[in-house]
Amino acid sequence: MKSSLIKSTVIFLGLFFLYFPILVLIFYSFNENKRVMVWKGFSLRWYNELFNNEQIIEAFIISIKIAALSATFATILGVMIGYSLVRIRKIPFKSFYIFLSSTPLVLPELILGLSMLLFFISLNNVIGFPSSRGQLTIFISHVTFCIAFVAIIIQARLTDFNKNIEEAAMDLGYNYTKVLYKITLPIILPSIIAGWLLAFTISLDDLVVASFTTGPGANTLPIVVFSKVRLGLSPEVNALSAILMFALIIIGLFYFYFNKKFKH
């Protein structure tokens, strides 16, 4: 049929558009030549240089550390928000609560970054802390804007599942805390994991907010990469891209696995 031909073509072109740049990046990461665009032959040279580049390795470790910590905090707080919004009736100033928990989703990163930086500077003027910015301030900022993403996933999950299960457990003599730990949390566990993975990836990938709130000894991976490619190309970044894309896509697949799990 003519219409199914159009359909396949559209889908094929769409996927081609989405994957072509990623494939180009991976292809050039195997280029022997120092001049990125001139193909000289297949080589793993830049992967080798990458693993010996202390600046990049150090930045990678810092980024992973910040991402893991901020994802964990954001997940705990995000689960609390999601739970509160769906299951707890009495929230003081509820509109304000919703405002606080959803605005970071739509606020341009640049404005968020600027507000965090000015906040830390003002805080330092008032109480003398934090005396310098660094990993701690990036961590706090990342938690703040990741909370909203986790909250939305948890909220969706809790709205979906039947409250009767919790009530039945309550009728059978479970107290409030026990219902939460034995019934509610296990049921939403896949969504919690999905939320953590999303927060982890967002933190790992963030450049703008980190640029504002960074300080000595806190060059995260995106900051280092950006400084290398802002004005030109870098063969080491090509090698890094290939590895990072691969790793992040695996994380993405896990996210889908966990987020989908609850639908059945």
Binding to other proteins in span 23-52, by CB under 8 A: 24-25, 28, 36-38
Assess 229 for contact with other proteins (CB under 8 A).
yes
Shortest Cβ distance from residue 99 to other proteins (Å)? Answer: 6
Nearer to other proteins, 113 or 218 (CB): 113
Which of 51, 58, 68, 114 binds other proteins (CB under 8 A)? It is 114
Residue numbers 187-226 binding other proteins by CB under 8 A: 201, 204-205, 207-208, 222, 225-226
Q: Kindly report the three-state secondary structure assignment for every residue of the chain.
A: CHHHHHHHHHHHHHHHHHHHHHHHHHHHCCECCCCCCCCCCECCHHHHHHHCCHHHHHHHHHHHHHHHHHHHHHHHHHHHHHHHHHHCCCCCCHHHHHHHHHHHHHCCHHHHHHHHHHHHHHHHHHHCCCCCCCHHHHHHHHHHHHHHHHHHHHHHHHHHCCHHHHHHHHHCCCCHHHHHHHHHHHHHHHHHHHHHHHHHHHHHHCCHHHHHHCCCCCCCHHHHHHHHHCCCCCHHHHHHHHHHHHHHHHHHHHHHHHHHHCCC
Nearer to other proteins, 76 or 189 (CB): 76
Assess 136 for contact with other proteins (CB under 8 A).
no
Which of 70, 101, 135, 184 binds other proteins (CB under 8 A)? It is 101
Nearer to other proteins, 30 or 226 (CB): 226
